[in-house]
Amino acid sequence: MSDTRPTLDQLRRDAKRLLNNARAGDLDAARRLDTDPQTAQLAAAQRVVAREHGFRSWPRLVRDLDRLRPASYRDLELRRVQRLTVCCFLPDGELIMVDTLDGFRIPTGAVEPGEDPILDSALRIPLQDAGFRRQGTHVAGVSTDGRHLLLWVDGARYYGNRPHREDARWWTGPSSEATELLRSQGDGTLAASVELADRARRELTDEQAVEDLRRLLDPSYLRAETAEGGSGFGGTPQEWRAAREQLCDAIESDGSFLDIGCANGLLMESVVAWSAERGHRMEPYGIDHSPALVDRARQRLPQWADRIWVGDALTWRHPDGLRFDVVAMIIDVIRPHRYPELIKHLLDQVVAPGGRLLLSRYSGGGELSGAEALRRCGYPVDGETSVPARGRLDDEPGAWVINR
């Protein structure tokens, strides 16, 4: 049987028509509006239309009728997007919902003026609705009119200084249980959105993950107004040092340092300075998967331009076979099922004999810590850094293995 309900576009038009007719003197329209047509806003007409179709509010009507179809980045016109629903997944694949007095909620909200839906709104909405800090951001669906975008993101609870909801009470569990709960509270369309997002998450390929990461990081880093922002860090120079200086704990003598995922090169530059304070002279090198970010790093650090390359951590090796004394990498950018391949390649081809492979992650953002990743893949943990000095609850040490 076909769905005979009006579409959301039809009801939007009905609300505009009701308001315009009331303002033009239509007595029946004015009676339905039940307020002064000359001062009424469109929201008043939308409330009337919602009640007449059995909904207690216009947002509830939108949630029930705003059907989404599967989509990817190539299906979007971002300039048309006005609203986001963001399904937030923890690194272990469990979904989070916010448990409120009115039931379970999935973060959702409007794209505010001047915001980029992916770079800005998809970061702000989970923070303000759920206290959730996204990492990867992936398209799952879009409405027929292109105005409503469904995303799925991975990440963790946020403990930093950005504006966020600190008191959000989370429900966490499998998406299948979440959809049952949503349907039981009358949110069938939202349950269908969760199913769509979870299917997109499970079907994500490694190639799509890399491309989605580049779509997010390149414009975000390149538009940053500070060196720290251009390296993916949202804080001051002092906070940057407090969050990253502990990586130098893996450096105990002069040598070479390779930053995998170097972005604009700030960590290369910082490690040289911080190591010098500790009495060690380091020669810095960097690779990044993004040509645009490598160009930025070479522009910032022309003295090291010939030491910075475009490369994939899973396959890159120095053009002349050079290997490095300390190789540092944040592992969140690699999917966990590829950690064994990653670690083996780096030890076999990139880390010098007797050198150290140092693995860490963004605060609370990954499935495994550096130490857990090494142990899970069958390697010893030969040392760990101190915990970052900034004192966030989700901060943890990095860990290294010696290349024997």
What mean pLDDT comes out for the span 28-35? Answer: 89
What mean pLDDT comes out for the span 225-243? Answer: 95
CA dihedral 181, 186, 188, 191 (to 10 degrees): -30
Quick one: tokens of 207? 């190639």
340-371 burial by CB neighbour count: b if 16+ within 10 A, else e? eebbebbbeebbbeebbbbbbbbbbbbbbbbb
**Residue 4, pLDDT above cutoff 70:** no
What are the backbone angles phi and psi of residue 53, rounded to the nearest 5°?
Answer: -105, 15
Provide the pLDDT for residue 366: 67
**Residue 15, pLDDT above cutoff 80:** yes
CA separation for the pair 303, 1 (Å, rounded)? 69
> Class assignment of domain 229-402?
alpha beta
What mean pLDDT comes out for the span 386-403? Answer: 93
What are the backbone angles phi and psi of residue 390, rounded to the nearest 5°?
Answer: -75, -20
Provide the pLDDT for residue 1: 37
**For the chain, where do the domains classified as CATH 3.40.50.150 start and end?**
229-402
**Residue 312, pLDDT above cutoff 80:** yes
**Residue 145's pLDDT band (cuts 50, 70, 90):** confident
Q: Among 3.40.1440.10, 3.40.50.12160, 3.90.79.10, 3.40.50.720, name the CATH number for the domain at 68-204.
A: 3.90.79.10
Provide the pLDDT for residue 364: 62
- DSSP annotation of 343 reads H
Predicted TM-score of the model (pTM)? 0.82
Distances (CA, A) of 389 to 38, 98, 265, 392, 393: 59, 31, 22, 8, 11
Nearest to 173 by CA among 67, 96, 286: 96
**For the chain, where do the domains classified as CATH 3.90.79.10 start and end?**
68-204
Q: What whole-number percentage of the chain has pLDDT above 90? A: 80
CB 257 within 8 A of CB 283: yes
Provide the pLDDT for residue 2: 43
Which residue type sits at 335?
A: R
CA dihedral 339, 327, 387, 160 (to 10 degrees): -70
